[in-house]
Amino acid sequence: MRVDSFNSQKSIHQQIEEALIAVPNLASTLHGQRKVHQGSVGKRTALFPSYKNGGMIPLESRLELAHAIALEKDPTVEVYRTQALKIQLSFNEFIYPDFLIKKLDHSLHVHEVKPYQQFVKSKQLDRFKRLERILDNLEIEFKVIDLNNLYSQSEVNNLLYQYQRGHYKKWTAFEINLALSILQDRFQNQHPRIDKESIKKLFNLHNLDLNLYEYIEFHSLISFDNTKFGDDV
């Protein structure tokens, strides 16, 4: 089998299409071409409850978890999958990229997550270069993500707290816009120290769920540092 025939535009785009329209299995999990086995020795595997994807996303490391959180926060990302593609690099050599991403502008992106780019072994670097050439021919952007591009562990912990509380239910556009309006009316022309206690009192006064604020803060719909407020929901 020739590499270029296996990696035809139809083949890879067919994999992408099937991955992005796939629905979770009975366990609410979205598995890719390569199944990530939970509890694998030497790996910090996890199932991440993805709001954007409507199911559990298998992850193989804390770094992949940090990247998944970043993708959930990124307003330009529509959906993403893990281990979604099987791409042939040579006659008997395949690669399963970590992340497949579709953005709202319909552009496609493939990401590999590694601790440090500069310490990637030459053999692995060669594999990435070959993968990049294949994807470039299909107008799919390839990128290696490392610790320099990821949230720290403490940031991940804080964001996970916000994410879990802020996404325990699906908020309506009315609820979100109402909360943003109340926050704007209360704080936009003032410069006191604004803390969670102030937010809690304000939300209680208006009978709003405080977890809605966690959603707003996670998605950066509002910022008290420079008094800018999110317009898009």
Q: What is the pLDDT of residues 80-120, one digit of tens each?
A: 999 999 999 988 899 999 999 999 999 999 999 998 877 77
Summarize the confidence of residues 23-32 as an average pLDDT: 93
Total domains in the chain come to: 2
> Please, are residues 151 and 66 in contact by the beta-carbon 8 Å criterion?
yes
- How many angstroms separate the most distant Cα atoms in the chain? 68
Q: Are residues 40 and 128 in the same domain?
A: yes
Please say if the pLDDT value at position 233 is more than 50.
no
Among 149, 183, 205, identify where a domain stops. Answer: 149
Please say if the pLDDT value at position 142 is more than 60.
yes
pLDDT at 227: 41
Amino acid at 136: D
Among 119, 149, 179, identify where a domain stops. Answer: 149
Q: Are residues 103 and 36 in the same domain?
A: yes
49 band by pLDDT with thresholds 50, 70 and 90:
very high
Q: Could you give the 3-state DSSP secondary structure of residue 15? A: helix
Q: Are residues 141 and 162 in the same domain?
A: no
> Please, are residues 68 and 98 in contact by the beta-carbon 8 Å criterion?
no
Q: Are residues 57 and 134 in the same domain?
A: yes
Q: Are residues 125 and 19 in the same domain?
A: yes
What DSSP string runs through 150-177? S--HHHHHHHHHHHHHHTSSPPPHHHHH
Question: What range does the domain containing 185 cover?
Answer: 153-229
Q: Are residues 130 and 180 in the same domain?
A: no
Q: Could you give the 3-state DSSP secondary structure of residue 14? A: helix
Q: What is the CATH number of the domain that holds 139?
A: 3.40.1350.10
Q: If residue 213 lies in a helix (H) or strand (E), which one and from where to where?
A: helix 210-218
pLDDT at 193: 56
DSSP for residue 29: B
Q: Are residues 177 and 223 in the same domain?
A: yes
Distance CA 213, CA 163 (A): 11
